[in-house]
Amino acid sequence: MKSTRPRLERAIIVGVELRRRRSPWRLKDSLAELAELARSARALVVGTVSQRLDRPTQVYLGKGKLEELKGLIYTKRASTVICDDELTPTQQRNLEKALGESVKVIDRTALILDVFAQRARTKEGRLQVELAQHEYLLPRLAGQWTHLERLGGGIGTRGPGETQIETDRRLVRTRIQKLKRDLEDVRRHRARYRARRIEMDVPVVSLVGYTNAGKSSLLNRLTKAGVMAENMLFSTLDPVTRRIHTPAGRDVLLTDTVGFIQKLPTAVVAAFRATLEEVQESTLVLHVVDVTHRNATQMVSVVEGIIDELGIADKPRLMALNKADLLDDDADSDALGRALRLADGDLRCVFTSAQTGAGLGELLHEIDAALQPELASMDRIVVG
Q: Domain locations in the chain?
A: 9-116, 201-383
Residue 97 has pLDDT above 60, yes or no: yes
**9-116 is classed CATH 3.90.1010.10:** no
Residue 51 pLDDT greater than 90, yes or no: yes
Number of C-beta neighbours around residue 381 at 10 A? 10
Please give the helix or strand (H or E) that residue 50 lies within, else none.
Answer: strand 43-53
Mean predicted confidence (pLDDT) in 2-25: 80
Q: Do 310 and 279 form a contact (C-beta atoms < 8 A)?
A: yes
Convert 270-293 to b/e letters by CB count within 10 Å (16 or more is b): ebbbbbbbbbebbbbbbbbbbbbb
Question: What distance in Å separates the CA atoms of residue 382 and residue 178, rounded to the nearest whole number?
Answer: 39
Kindly state which CATH superfamily the domain 201-383 is placed in.
Answer: P-loop containing nucleotide triphosphate hydrolases (3.40.50.300)
Distances (CA, A) of 293 to 122, 337, 340: 30, 12, 13
- Beta-ladder partners of 57: none
Task: Give φ, ψ of 272 to 5 degrees.
Answer: -95, 25
User: How many CA atoms lie within 13 Å of 151's alpha carbon, on the beta-carbon side?
Assistant: 0
Residue-wise pLDDT for 26-50, tens only, equals: 999 999 999 999 998 889 999 999 9
Q: What is the mean pLDDT of residues 149-167?
A: 53
Q: Which of 34-48, 125-139, 147-161, 327-341 has the lowest mean pLDDT?
A: 147-161
Lowest mean pLDDT among 53-67, 142-156, 185-199, 273-287: 142-156
Report d(CA 310, CA 332) in Å as an integer.
Answer: 35
Distances (CA, A) of 351 to 222, 318, 331, 339: 15, 11, 15, 9
